[in-house]
Amino acid sequence: MTSRKGKAKTDSLGRENLADKICAGLAPDIRPQAVTLANAVLAMQDKIEQTIPEYKSMPLSQSVTVGTGETVLRQNPGAQEFRATVRDYAQALKNLDEILATHKTDTGESAVDDLRARFKVG
């Protein structure tokens, strides 16, 4: 899949700063790994946001001619890649949420809820 050129939304906000903000208040022994995971979540979020328009316009399946000359329908690889990215994003976000809930040293609003609020597919 091709992606649009230009700065992604989280890059304009400062991905490193946003990841640090999300992981603020974590115990020092777990914080570096959580920041790395938060950066991965933000990168996947950017990729998904950039490819939504392309995904909406692509066919979910495509005709392919096999060696016997027969035409069969196969899933579009671009659609499969988009779905896999969304699945991986959801799992990584769940893992980050669990880490934040388990290892948070201070209480306050959930940074993952803020991240979810910023990202709406549709």
Distance, CA of 79 to CA of 60 (rounded, Å): 6
What's residue 50's pLDDT? Answer: 92
Kindly report, residue by residue over 70-122, the tens digit of the pLDDT.
999 999 999 999 999 999 999 999 999 999 888 876 555 555 666 666 665 54
What's residue 87's pLDDT? Answer: 95
Kindly report, residue by residue over 33-43, the tens digit of the pLDDT.
999 999 999 99
Residues 6+ apart with CB under 8 A from 45: 10, 89, 115, 119
Say which residue, 14 or 8, is predicted with more confidence. 14
C-beta of residue 51 within 8 angstroms of C-beta of residue 82: yes
What's residue 67's pLDDT? Answer: 87
Distance, CA of 6 to CA of 43 (rounded, Å): 14
Per-domain residue ranges for the chain?
9-118
Q: Work out the burial of residue 48: count CB atoms within 10 Å of its CB; fewer than 13 is exposed, 13-18 middle, 19 or more buried.
A: middle
The pTM score is: 0.68
What's residue 44's pLDDT? Answer: 93
